[in-house]
Structure 1
Amino acid sequence: MKASCVRRDLGRVPYEPTWRQMQALNDARDASTPDELWVLEHPPVYTLGMAGKPEHLLRQTDIPMVRIDRGGQITYHGPGQIVVYLLIDLRRRGLKVREMVHLMEQALIDTLADDGLAAERQSGAPGVYIGGAKVAALGLRVKNGCSYHGLSLNVDMDLTPFTWINPCGYSGLQTTQLRDLGVDTEQAVVADRLIGHLERLLPPLRSGALESASD
């Protein structure tokens, strides 16, 4: 059976051009455009959501900060972190935004469970947490019924830049990663599992919509 989404493995790519490519794809979509999942890493970068407050950056650093068009506050992306961007036509799958966020969180929880980790949601704070520390962040933009941006999962990275911000706008929020939780599964394997859970949880395309898409 063909996958319901086109998967694109982009490697390590700079943030801003990738964001602009997401916008361009979303703006050019029509009823025949397949949904896509982009799997990648970014060089060190802070991103600040539309309502983000620059004061959540607690000190000056050499890490660039990009103000972008997703919801949420400030977060950090860097090597050793899995980023998945979800370019999904929510209408074709009968999904509301809240349901999409819940689906993304569940895929992350299921991925972590594959390595024996018990992760959970926190009310009012999108993302996934283990022992109160954030291991995965979410941020979406929905325009014309279609989503872009997505999620990030900390695997084996330098967490220090998180200490220079209020992650997602929360003062004192601790972050963690798979390596510090005793997981040494290769990042590519974790990414494959995560994509598998996302595709499993995404509702099928509605009758009359694009039936399937793959590379």
Structure 2
Amino acid sequence: MSEPLIRARGRLPYEPTYAEMRAWTEARDEATPDEIWLCEHDPVYTQGLAGKADHVLAPAGIPVVQTNRGGQVTYHGPGQVVAYPLIDLQRLGIYVKEYVYRIEEAVIRTLATWRVTGHRVNSAPGIYVRLDDPFDHRALTGPADPRDPFRGLGKVSALGIKVSRHRTYHGVALNVAMDLAPFAGINPCGYAGLQTVDLAKLGLAIEVPDAAQRLGERLAALLAP
């Protein structure tokens, strides 16, 4: 079995895409090749299964869609790459924890192509960067301050997945060059005061198709049998 097929799908409304990947996953069988869908979405807040209504502060007309992925509320909008890996974990021979690690690693490797250093934060899925120097290659030192685990950090990539019969859908978002204001209308991923950044805010002029291609290639390499 080869690497997952990468499909660049452009800008799509969220709800039909959610319905499509759910139906696609339910219809697939043991012989169905894995795919990775890459897209942008029209403005939307999506709420995970654990999502609390009080984390949506001021939606200001942006629709809020309840989903069956893990995690809390996040925002999708133009200028953000959303990758949906549709992967058979049983065929790949890994479990969910390793799958999440590989998705995060794909984001870290994508950021590294622009010399940006991505970081993991314990118990907070996604990828973060140092706000004062995102190009600093040093690892984060010491345990995070439990009173402020994101001090000095900005979130550049959010992750939320669903696994059904060992098959994955939903996925990961990478902020490239977007309007970040809607993130102020929520507690991003359930964390009050968490700063959200994109590559543009880090001083990088990256085209969304370029970022999508790089992320897709790294996901495909890490999720190949």
Match of 1:155 in 2: 176
Q: Is the 8 A contact 2:36 2:220 kept in 1?
A: no
For the residue of structure 2 that corresponds to 1:98, the secondary structure is helix
**Alpha-carbon distance, 1:203 to partner:** 4.1
Post-superposition, which runs of at least 4 consecutive aligned residues in structure 1 deviate over 3 A?
A: none
Matched, 1:190 2:211: yes
Which residue type is aligned with residue 56 of structure 1?
A: H
Matched, 1:180 2:222: no
Distance in 2 between residues matched to 1:203 and 1:94, nearest whole Å = 10
Match of 1:99 in 2: 98
Match of 1:13 in 2: 12
Runs of at least 5 residues in structure 2 that lack an aligned partner in the other structure: 131-152
Q: Is the 8 A contact 1:3 1:199 kept in 2?
A: no
Match of 1:52 in 2: 51
Distance in 2 between residues matched to 1:121 and 1:60, nearest whole Å = 28
Corresponding residue pairs, total: 203
Which residue type is aligned with residue 112 of structure 2?
A: A
For the residue of structure 2 that corresponds to 1:140, the secondary structure is strand
Match of 1:164 in 2: 185
For each residue in 1:176-209, what CA deviation from the matched residue of structure 2 results, as whole angstroms up to 9, or x when unmatched?
Answer: 00001111122211111111111221241xxxxx
Counterpart mapping for 1:100-119 below 5 A: 100-119=99-118
Q: Is the 8 A contact 1:88 1:147 kept in 2?
A: yes
Distance in 2 between residues matched to 1:8 and 1:109, nearest whole Å = 21
Match of 1:213 in 2: none
Q: TM-score, normalised to structure 2's length?
A: 0.88
For the residue of structure 1 that corresponds to 2:78, the secondary structure is coil
Match of 1:81 in 2: 80
The two structures, once aligned, show a CA RMSD in angstroms of 1.1
For the residue of structure 1 that corresponds to 2:184, the secondary structure is helix
Identity of aligned residues (%): 51
**Alpha-carbon distance, 1:13 to partner:** 0.7
Distance in 1 between residues matched to 2:157 and 2:65, nearest whole Å = 20
> Residues 60 and 46 (structure 1 numbering): CA distance in 2 closer, same or farther, change over 3 Å?
closer
Distance in 2 between residues matched to 1:8 and 1:67, nearest whole Å = 25
Distance in 2 between residues matched to 1:202 and 1:60, nearest whole Å = 35
> Residues 60 and 82 (structure 1 numbering): CA distance in 2 closer, same or farther, change over 3 Å?
closer
Matched, 1:134 2:134: no
Q: Is the 8 A contact 1:44 1:78 kept in 2?
A: yes
Which residue type is aligned with residue 213 of structure 2?
A: D
Distance in 1 between residues matched to 2:2 and 2:110, nearest whole Å = 18
Q: TM-score, normalised to structure 1's length?
A: 0.92
Distance in 1 between residues matched to 2:167 and 2:222, nearest whole Å = 17
For each residue in 1:6-56, what CA deviation from the matched residue of structure 2 results, as whole angstroms up to 9, or x when unmatched?
Answer: 221111111111000011011111111110100000000000001210110
Match of 2:223 in 1: 202
